[in-house]
Amino acid sequence: MRFEKLKKNIQGYDNLSLPQMVKVKQKFKSDTIEDVRAELNNQLDINIDSKAIQKLKSKKIGISAGSRGIPFYKELLKVICDKLKSWGAIPFVFPAMGSHAGGTAESQKDFLKEYGITEEYLGAPILSSMEVVEVAKLEDGMPVYCDKYAAEADGIVLFHKVKPHTHFKGNHESGLLKMIGIGIGKHKGASTFHKKGFDHFDKYLVDVAEAFLDNINVVFGVGVIQNAYDLLGKIEVIPTDQIIQKDAELLSIAKKEMARIKFDDIDVLIIDEIGKNISGTGFDTNISGRIEVESQREKFKEIAPNIKKIVLLDISEQSHGNATGLGEADLISYRFVNKIDFATTYTNVITNNYLKAAAMPLYSNSDLDAIKIAILTGINTNYKNPKIVRIKNTSLLEEIEVSVAYIDEIKQRNDIEIINEPYNWKFNENDDLW
């Protein structure tokens, strides 16, 4: 399917010129781990006692691998594999992605390969299946599922990053408990869980985790936190009996460490790329404040800038056309609309029950076309001097581009630095930025 360019007649379009831009550096307070392999090795040595290690000899142990990008992802998984082998265990890795990455066993294994996570690199098998086993049932009858290979193993290691969720707020959001309830439950578990609705996620994450931990031998957990610079700020190896408590504690740290756009009012936010490797919603709603869950909207508006229009220019290669989240934008580029894999995108949003996340906004004839329409349709926007912010994606917020309308404000602040002189936009022969 190919979308065609459209002829439009828009008042004021031809007379609109884009403002000059400057690059700025946003300054955040964040800890960074210099040697992540050494830190994880040290954490494993300190937090796993000798008695637990003795029980691992000749035992088949699965390690969960999610769909979210993590700095040094493959290296961290290899450290866990190597450590388990040094303890006499027989490790393997299994995709724990719910319905992500196409929702098939083969596609999920291929997805890990794009992060460099292969059997050759790990020195351990990658066992991928969409089959699940029901391992428990909650009091209200809700089943708790586990990946077939993980359920058949002698034990599993929970490995995941902990971060604020993009659809709800609570004591537990996106972390080790979510990995249990949704990631390890595969497509069936994810679908079952999402039917409860995001307003009840916090409670069910705990209930499902407790039932799971009572019935599956979780050897230990490994939680990681990315700082404001998208680097690893914390790694923690967690004994099984502390997983629920530590998941909440790590989330609290992650919320403080999270980067943000440091401008309160934005006429147009331009995002170069979105994707499932960046955020569950393609672009992080904690940054944009845009969310389709009506009951949670005010909570997200409180932590995000006031943004009139959002323009999306591209889908990351790692997302393979999964455009989940585009429904929260106002405009998409011509490049974007012709990259959408509707089957993958629809599978994702049908699983989580929020169809608006896949609703297609207006598409434009080019990048320039999208930006100009966004400016012209902003209520009370100063067309001659609009406030524009451009970012690579919602994970990379240290160096961003802003229009010259912000210069006076920036000069009064010590947490934002201008790093070059104003410059004009550079579009190619197709009016695209690349």
Q: In this model, does residue 173 exceed pLDDT 70?
A: yes
3-state helix, strand, coil in the chain (%, to 5): 35, 20, 40
DSSP strands (E only) in 183-292: 218-226, 232-239, 265-271
Instruction: Name the amino acid, one letter, at 344.
Output: T
Mean pLDDT of the chain: 89
Tell me the average pLDDT across 14-22.
95
Q: Where are the alpha helices (DSSP H) in 276-390?
A: 285-288, 297-301, 334-337, 342-352, 367-376
Closest to 313 in 3D by CA, of 287, 279, 282, 291: 282
Q: How far apart are CA 83 and CA 44, in angstroms?
A: 8
H-state helical runs in 353-425: 367-376, 407-411
For the segment 405-430, what is each residue's pLDDT rounded down to a tens digit?
999 999 999 999 999 999 999 999 99
- Residue 393 above 70 pLDDT? yes
pLDDT at 353 over 80: no
pLDDT of residue 294: 66
Give which of 85, 238, 64 is closest to 151, Cα–Cα. 64
Predicted local confidence at residue 288, as pLDDT: 87
Residue 228: pLDDT band by 50, 70, 90 thresholds?
A: confident
pLDDT the model gives residue 118: 93
Q: What is the dihedral of CA 243, 248, 250, 256, to 10 degrees?
A: 180
In a 10 Å sphere around its CB, with 0-12 CB exposed, 13-18 middle and 19+ buried, how is residue 434 labelled? exposed
- What pLDDT does 221 receive? 95
Does residue 384 carry a pLDDT above 90? yes
Whether 18 shows a pLDDT value over 90: the answer reads yes
Cα atoms found within 13 Å of the Cα of residue 399, Cβ hemisphere only? 4
Residues 356-380 have a mean pLDDT of 95
Alpha-carbon distance of 35 to 53, in angstroms, equals 24
Structure tokens at 289: 């404040």
Beta bridge partners of 403: 21
CA pair distance 400, 262, nearest whole angstrom: 11
Please determine, for residue 3, whether its predicted confidence score (pLDDT) is greater than 70.
Answer: yes
| Out of 118-122, 125-129, 190-194, 332-336, least confident range | 190-194
Given this model, what pLDDT does residue 100 score?
Answer: 65
Q: How far apart are CA 105 and CA 112, in angstroms?
A: 11
Question: What residues does 311 pair with on adjacent strands?
Answer: 270, 331
Q: What is the pLDDT of residue 204?
A: 85
Ordered structural domains, the chain, with CATH: 21-28+259-418 (no CATH), 36-257 (3.40.50.11440)
Distance CA 191, CA 1 (A): 28
Tokens of residue 46, six digits: 């300190």
CA distance 376 to 380: 10
pLDDT at residue 169, as a whole number:
78
- Grade residue 87 by pLDDT with cuts at 50, 70 and 90: very high
pLDDT at 426: 96
At 312, give phi and psi (nearest 5°): -110, 130
Q: Which of 121-130, 180-189, 192-201 has the highest mean pLDDT?
A: 121-130
Tell me what pLDDT residue 102 has. 65
What is the predicted pLDDT for the residue at 326? 93
| 68 band by pLDDT with thresholds 50, 70 and 90 | confident
Confidence of residue 296 (pLDDT cuts 50, 70, 90): low
Residue 206 has pLDDT above 80, yes or no: yes
310 vs 9 pLDDT, higher one: 310
Q: Which helix (H) or strand (E) holds 63?
A: strand 60-65
Mean pLDDT of 207-215: 91
Grade residue 175 by pLDDT with cuts at 50, 70 and 90. Answer: confident
Residue 170 pLDDT grade (very low, low, confident, very high; cuts 50, 70, 90): confident
**Segment of 198-202, 230-234, 287-291, 293-297 carrying the highest mean pLDDT:** 230-234
271 has pLDDT over 70: yes
Which of the four pLDDT bands, split at 50, 70 and 90, describes residue 286?
confident
pLDDT at 136: 86
Residue 83 to residue 11: CA distance in whole angstroms = 65
- The pLDDT score that the predictor gives to residue 98 is 74
Q: What pLDDT digit, counting tens, does each position of 123-144 carry?
A: 999 998 888 888 888 888 888 8
Q: Is the pLDDT of residue 1 over 80?
A: no
